[in-house]
A and B are shown apart, each in its own frame.
Chain A
Amino acid sequence: MYPIIKQMLRTGIKTETPPEADESLRTVQQRLQEDILRHFGRALAIRHVDAGSCNGCDLEIHCLNNPYYNIEGLGISFVASPRHADMLLVTGPAAKNMEIALRRTYDAAPEPKLVVALGDCGCGKGIYGENYASCGGIANIIPVDVAVPGCPPTPAAIMQGILTAISKSKNN
């Protein structure tokens, strides 16, 4: 146990005034935390659906859990079932072979549900386009509240996208 504690102390607390030492992003984090509290009064539950990405966008979702972005600390938890989800975070173009699974996941999430589509692919501007095996952007299959461009979008941009979706829904 001792080496673990020593390493922890040496590392210190990494969580940024996230992400980067950038003022606008510090605001994003603060607002995210406040909005989740005000709007949900509990953690925001997100279900990730990879509908056909190259795995690049997914790598950045993994990073949200690292100590720098510490997304759980902001009151966001990734849940194992769409039935517990307030929001679907969707990566990739919608592969045709994923069309049914994507629709089903959407239908299984309780109302009101938010959908954030990630990456140039999720936005419908990705390299794969629309073809016999790719339906293109996520909005071609399910309603999308916010689309976050980037190839892949940075963790900071993903956090901003989640925040935008929450505030949009709140103002409606």
Chain B
Amino acid sequence: MNNFPVQLNELKTAIPTWHSTVDSAGFRAACATIREHGGRLIALWGSDERARGQGFALHAALMDAPGLICLSLPLAAENPAYPSIIDIFPAATRMQRAVYDLLGILAKDSPDTRKWLRHGAWPEDQFPLRKEFDLKQQYPLSGDAYPFVTVTGNGVHEIPVGPVHAGTIEPGHFRFSVIGERVLRLEERLGYKHKGVEKLAETMTIEQGAKLAGRISGDSTVAYAWAYAMAAESLASFTPEPRAVWLRALLLERERIANHLGDLGYLGNDVALAFGFAQFWRLKEDWLRCNQAVFGHRYLMDSIVPGGVTVDLKASDHGHLIKQGDLLEREVRTLRDIYEEHAGAQDRFVTTGRVKPDLAANLGLTGLAGRASAQSWDLRAQYPSAPYDQLDVRMATHRNGDVAARLIVRFEEVFESLRLCRLILDRMPGGTVFTPLPPAPDNAFGIGMVEGWRGEVLMALHSGKDNRIERLHPHDPSWLNWPLLEHAIIGNIVPDFPLINKSFNLSYSGQDL
């Protein structure tokens, strides 16, 4: 790439990716340049490189028009610190706080250095992702004081909710500041589901990591497993068999459809259209049972591994899957008309929970929610890896950024995924579906990124000796979208929060790790 402030080296992976080792000034300059180009921050994570005779390192993954750019910033072994980038990318705030909690790497000049993932599970002066920290060491729970930002004024009061919620929802804490029923401010606190995933990965071989990757966020097991496999394959300079990647895409689109069906049902339910819930959840159940019958698992867990896939289609599955897709399409079209014409439901959807395009761009709203606020990013369309390079994916976008827009994008994506499933089934090449991966070289870096149903799922993988995982950083798109939910609720009434929250449907487990 020309006119870039640092030297970039192209990495061999399924989507166009460049890597650069930078110093502090280069790090900020590269971030600023990408920001000027209209690019985005995807992920920020750290690593402990002391066993290799170095210090620590900070890594960032950013998206610019030509593709993914990964930056690595080597840091000192004592008191590692780097210049904060939240003035360039506000979305970095929580990631910087998490990097400190896990590695003790400090963002200098950051206005927000509160803890994020730590809570009271380990002491302030211990850092789980430092190599000397023992995975199995349990500490007594320490106090968990957390300074929420408070809003003062006449008639303002606070409503704290969670971590345990009223329905079947993952745990997190929401603190609303309200006047009457109007929300002035929402502050989220997450991290309740932190279960040591990244540290645990460091005890595994690259092969074993696949199972863990598929359990980082259960609703996105296919996206995570594929991104992981892609990272492992890029490390080993390995290209999977054509049939394997076509099957992966089929699984990914089936996962997208299943999740969208569930959300469309819940969005109906939240506006008192119980009919919509019953209909979409009946369709989802049929879809999951078909997964079970054809691929052996309702959610398709463990079907993607480095080297290929563990499932294959029989000749007789083809007609069955085509027929099921056609049937589903007809049903969803009928239901879409009903949703569109239902005045009561539309009244609740339209203008509710709005994120305008400029705010979405500034804070980096991504994935499905981003596309509903005019952020036209979809890896399958922009950086199509096989087989998407042969499928010509049509990206769904909308400008209104409200619950209605996120609903419409879901409908459109269901139809597009059904079209893709049909194409994939018709054009899928023959051949084998799995070839064992050659052992990964020591100290290599691989990256994988997949457009999951929620948005882009990233996996950064660093290999150690004997095919082991030295460092794994899974990154959920929810990191970028959670802060926007805080904005989407402002000015709305508290009873609309469940509807707005559901319209984003973000992952807790994926960001808590």
**Contact residues of A with B, CB < 8 Å?**
3-4, 7-8, 11, 14, 48-63, 65-68, 78, 80-82, 92-93, 95-101, 105, 127-135, 151-152, 154
Q: 18 extra interchain contacts, Cβ-Cβ under 8 A, other than A55-B218, A66-B282, A128-B195?
A: A3-B334, A4-B275, A4-B338, A7-B338, A8-B275, A11-B282, A54-B216, A55-B219, A60-B298, A61-B168, A62-B281, A67-B278, A97-B191, A98-B193, A130-B138, A132-B199, A134-B196, A152-B218
Q: Interface centre among A82, A98, A135, by most B CB within 10 Å?
A: A98
A17 CB to nearest chain B CB (Å): 15
A66-B218 CB under 8 A given contacts A7-B279, A54-B509: no
Q: Which of A51, A63, A127 contacts B285 (CB 8 A)?
A: A63
What is the size, in residues, of chain B's interface with A at 8 Å between Cβ atoms?
Answer: 61
Chain B residues with CB under 8 A of A55: 170, 217-219, 507-509
Q: Which of B119, B133, B137, B301 contacts A151 (CB 8 A)?
A: B301
Chain A residues with CB under 8 A of B164: 49-50, 82, 101, 105
Q: Which of A11, A68, A132 contacts B138 (CB 8 A)?
A: A132
**Contact at B171–A54, with CB atoms within 8 Å?**
no
Q: Which of B128, B168, B279 contacts A62 (CB 8 A)?
A: B168
What is the CA–CA distance of A98 and B135 in the complex, to the nearest angstrom?
Answer: 18
Q: Which residues of chain B from 99 to 151 have any CB-CB distance to chain A below 8 Å in the complex? A: 119-122, 128, 133-139, 141, 144
A63 CB to nearest chain B CB (Å): 6
Q: Which of A14, A58, A133 contacts B128 (CB 8 A)?
A: A133
What is the CA–CA distance of A3 and B335 in the complex, to the nearest angstrom?
Answer: 9
Select from chain A the residue with minimum beta-carbon distance to B211: A127
**Contact residues of B with A, CB < 8 Å?**
119-122, 128, 133-139, 141, 144, 163-164, 166-171, 191-197, 199-200, 211-212, 215-219, 221, 262, 275, 277-279, 281-282, 284-285, 288, 298-299, 301, 334-335, 337-338, 341, 507-509, 512
**Contact at A97–B119, with CB atoms within 8 Å?**
yes
Q: Interface centre among B122, B164, B166, by most A CB within 10 Å?
A: B164
Can you list 29 pairs linking A and B with CB atoms under 8 Å apart?
A14-B282, A50-B168, A50-B170, A51-B171, A52-B192, A53-B170, A53-B509, A54-B217, A55-B170, A56-B299, A59-B299, A61-B168, A62-B168, A63-B285, A66-B278, A67-B281, A78-B167, A81-B166, A92-B193, A95-B194, A98-B171, A98-B192, A100-B141, A127-B215, A128-B200, A131-B136, A131-B196, A132-B199, A151-B301
Q: Which of B134, B192, B200, B338 contacts A97 (CB 8 A)?
A: B192
B288 CB to nearest chain A CB (Å): 7
B31 CB to nearest chain A CB (Å): 30
Select from chain B the residue with minimum beta-carbon distance to A47: B164
**Contact at A63–B281, with CB atoms within 8 Å?**
yes
Q: Which of A61, A81, A133 contacts B195 (CB 8 A)?
A: A133
B452 CB to nearest chain A CB (Å): 13
Select from chain B the residue with minimum beta-carbon distance to A56: B218
A126 CB to nearest chain B CB (Å): 8
**Contact at B218–A96, with CB atoms within 8 Å?**
no
A9 CB to nearest chain B CB (Å): 12
Q: Interface centre among B192, B197, B282, by most A CB within 10 Å?
A: B192
**Contact at A63–B288, with CB atoms within 8 Å?**
yes
Tell me the number of A-to-B contacts counted with CB atoms below 8 Å. Answer: 166
**Contact at A56–B334, with CB atoms within 8 Å?**
no
Chain A residues with CB under 8 A of B212: 127
A134-B195 CB under 8 A given contacts A63-B288, A105-B164: yes
**Contact at B285–A96, with CB atoms within 8 Å?**
no
Chain B residues with CB under 8 A of A66: 278, 281-282, 284-285
**Contact at A97–B196, with CB atoms within 8 Å?**
no
**Contact at A54–B215, with CB atoms within 8 Å?**
yes
What is the CA–CA distance of A66 and B265 in the complex, to the nearest angstrom?
Answer: 10
**Contact at B141–A48, with CB atoms within 8 Å?**
no
**Contact at B299–A95, with CB atoms within 8 Å?**
no
**Contact at A58–B170, with CB atoms within 8 Å?**
yes
Q: Which of A68, A100, A133, A134 contacts B282 (CB 8 A)?
A: A68
**Contact at B219–A99, with CB atoms within 8 Å?**
no
**Contact at B338–A3, with CB atoms within 8 Å?**
yes
Select from chain A the residue with minimum beta-carbon distance to B218: A56
Chain A residues with CB under 8 A of B168: 48, 50, 58, 61-62, 78
A3-B194 CB under 8 A given contacts A56-B218, A132-B122: no
Select from chain A the residue with minimum beta-carbon distance to B163: A101
**Contact at B219–A59, with CB atoms within 8 Å?**
yes
Chain B residues with CB under 8 A of A51: 171
**Contact at B170–A128, with CB atoms within 8 Å?**
no
What is the CA–CA distance of A4 and B221 in the complex, to the nearest angstrom?
Answer: 34
**Contact at B509–A132, with CB atoms within 8 Å?**
no
What is the CA–CA distance of A79 and B507 in the complex, to the nearest angstrom?
Answer: 23
What is the CA–CA distance of A151 and B214 in the complex, to the nearest angstrom?
Answer: 11
Chain A residues with CB under 8 A of B512: 95, 97
What is the CA–CA distance of A96 and B288 in the complex, to the nearest angstrom?
Answer: 32
A132-B279 CB under 8 A given contacts A50-B170, A57-B218, A95-B192: no
**Contact at A93–B195, with CB atoms within 8 Å?**
yes
What is the CA–CA distance of A49 and B192 in the complex, to the nearest angstrom?
Answer: 12
A96-B121 CB under 8 A given contacts A61-B168, A133-B195: yes
**Contact at B298–A154, with CB atoms within 8 Å?**
yes
A56-B282 CB under 8 A given contacts A81-B166, A133-B128: no
Select from chain B the residue with minimum beta-carbon distance to A80: B166
Chain A residues with CB under 8 A of B133: 132
What is the CA–CA distance of A130 and B164 in the complex, to the nearest angstrom?
Answer: 22
B301 CB to nearest chain A CB (Å): 7
B185 CB to nearest chain A CB (Å): 23
Q: Which 7 A-B pairs have the closest CB atoms?
A: A56-B218, A80-B166, A66-B281, A96-B121, A133-B196, A54-B218, A134-B195
Select from chain A the residue with minimum beta-carbon distance to B508: A55
**Contact at A101–B338, with CB atoms within 8 Å?**
no
Select from chain B the residue with minimum beta-carbon distance to A8: B275
Select from chain A the residue with minimum beta-carbon distance to B338: A3
**Contact at A132–B299, with CB atoms within 8 Å?**
no
Q: Which of B120, B200, B211, B278 contacts A131 (CB 8 A)?
A: B200
**Contact at A52–B195, with CB atoms within 8 Å?**
yes
A95-B285 CB under 8 A given contacts A80-B166, A81-B166, A130-B136: no
